[in-house]
């Protein structure tokens, strides 16, 4: 029982990761695959940030009127900093993926993966 109380945050985010993974693997439309990749990356970012929490602690903005600063009163700021970089990388890959999808639509006039494979087989 204490395994469930101690680790349920990891299990929730693993469930969200698997929803994004299923969308990337099983859907046939290209835009839905890219949206699945976005869900997967968001779940990883939330997973990382959930490891920074400490019980009965507050946000990492130091209250100025304190004499001695105890690091156990503030949550860990390092995962937040690393995940800011991860969010920017997520936006960049999403933008470039959408640009590639626009180019594919101009060339093949369709966005379904199996129709594109049919056109490529016929061209041979």
Partner 1 sequence: MIRRTESLLVETVCRILIPLIQLFALYVIVHGHYSPGGGFQGGCILGASFILMVIAYDIRWMKHRFSEKKNTLMVALGVFIYSLIGFICIFLGAEYLNYGIFHRILPVDVAKARSLGILAVETGVGITVMAVMVSIFLNLTTYGKHEKGEV
Partner 2 sequence: MKIFAIIIVILTGAVLIYSTFDMPDWGNPNSPASVHVSPRYIEKTIEETATPNAVTSVLADYRGFDTLGETIVIFTAAIVCILLLRREDDKTH
Chain residues binding partner 1 by CB under 8 A are 59, 61, 84, 87-88, 95, 98-99, 102, 106
Backbone phi, then psi, for 112, in 5-degree steps?
-90, 140
Distance in angstroms (rounded) separating the CA atoms of residues 43 and 85: 15
Strand partners, 58: 74
The number of residues that bind partner 2 (CB under 8 A) is: 52
Distance in angstroms (rounded) separating the CA atoms of residues 76 and 48: 11
Residues near partner 2 (CB under 8 A) are: 3, 6-11, 14-15, 17-18, 21-22, 25-26, 50-55, 57, 60-64, 69, 71-72, 74, 76-81, 84-85, 88-89, 91-93, 95-96, 99-100, 102-103, 106-107
């Amino acid at each position: 029982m204490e395994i469930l109380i101690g680790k349920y945050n990891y299990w929730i985010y693993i469930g969200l990761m698997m929803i994004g993974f299923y969308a990337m693997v099983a859907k046939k439309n290209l835009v839905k695959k890219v949206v699945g990749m976005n869900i997967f990356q968001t779940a990883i970012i939330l997973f990382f940030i959930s490891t920074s929490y400490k019980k009965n602690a507050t946000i990492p903005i130091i209250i100025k009127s304190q004499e001695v600063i105890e690091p156990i009163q503030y949550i860990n700021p390092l995962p937040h900093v690393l995940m800011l970089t991860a969010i920017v990388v997520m936006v960049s890959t999403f933008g470039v993926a959408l640009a590639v999808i626009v180019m594919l639509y101009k060339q093949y006039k369709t966005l379904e993966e199996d129709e594109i494979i049919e056109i490529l087989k016929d061209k041979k």
